[in-house]
Amino acid sequence: MTAIKGSAAAVTGAAGGIGRALALELAARGCDLALADRDEAGLQQVSAEIAKTYSRKVSVHRVDVGEPNQIADFAAAATAAHPGLNIVINNAGVALLGQFSEIEQAQMEWLININFWGVVHGTRAFLPHLSRQREAHIVNLSSIFGIIAPPGQTAYCAAKFAVRGFSESLRHELAMANSPVRLSVVHPGGVATDIARNSRTGVGVTDNARRAQSIERFDAMATKHPVIGDVRGIGAMQAIELVQDRATKKPAAAAVDAAIKRACERGLLLLRAGLYSNVIRTLVPLVITDAQLDEGLDILEGSLDG
């Protein structure tokens, strides 16, 4: 497992949301940072916030992950500023509101170019450098919508399922090659960020009330305390959603620690049962029943016990 303390990490989408939370948490754990985002002012704010509390080396880089050349330049600049950089977190992402018939092809390509190809280009740009390190880790952000596919999310789900498939396959390739680089793919549920509020709207969506309702629904469902801040180590990020004790319905510390350790050993993804249930029941109530959900969680937990 890659140790966070003493490492240096590149984080995309670091000006806000999950990326900002990751930057602050990594700094708190003794990690230097190369932070990337299109929002230069936001990056400066995050950097200043870190500097108030922690003596970490932080470089900021204006990067549009939808532009491969900018990603390549970021990789070169980040590794020059942090020669020992050994963690890369491909986090940047966008959202698009509308049914498939309501979004234009160009809009779908815009999202996939950022949410999927941005991850691929980021991985490719940093991998040669990471491969020369004693130990290194790539963390690619998918989504719970890389596991389930509700209506109205065709572009987003397509990209996040693609991130999942790409990452899982590459993880096996790296392991087979005995590479020092490990790879995790993370599937967060609803986290209280501005991704819904900043989303674009399909050209065929003419009802402004739908957009407002979507934002309200997301805000009501999303947690304001991302469990990303609770990660025990960068190798556990694929286990970022914590298990729940099914009997008490409360987090069980011993079960959490054991499950994270087991997930890292086996390369499994753990889902936080309550959050998974909340996302499904909020967004796709007609797609899955409580009985189906409970059955699926039983199978998941059984696989961890086996």
Instruction: Show which residues are catalytic.
Output: 156
Coil vs helix vs strand at 154: helix
* Dihedrals phi, psi of 41, to nearest 5 degrees: -65, -40
Q: Name the nearest CA neighbour of 190 among 215, 150, 221.
A: 221
3-state helix, strand, coil in the chain (%, to 5): 50, 10, 35
* Dihedrals phi, psi of 62, to nearest 5 degrees: -80, 120
Residue linked to tokens 């970490």: 56
Q: Name the nearest CA neighbour of 10 among 136, 131, 134, 162.
A: 136
On the CB side of 51, how many CA atoms lie within 13 Å of its CA?
10
Beta strands of the chain (E only): which ranges?
A: 8-12, 32-37, 58-62, 87-90, 96-97, 136-141, 181-186, 200-201
Coil vs helix vs strand at 62: strand
Angle ∠(130,146,126) on CA atoms, nearest 5: 15
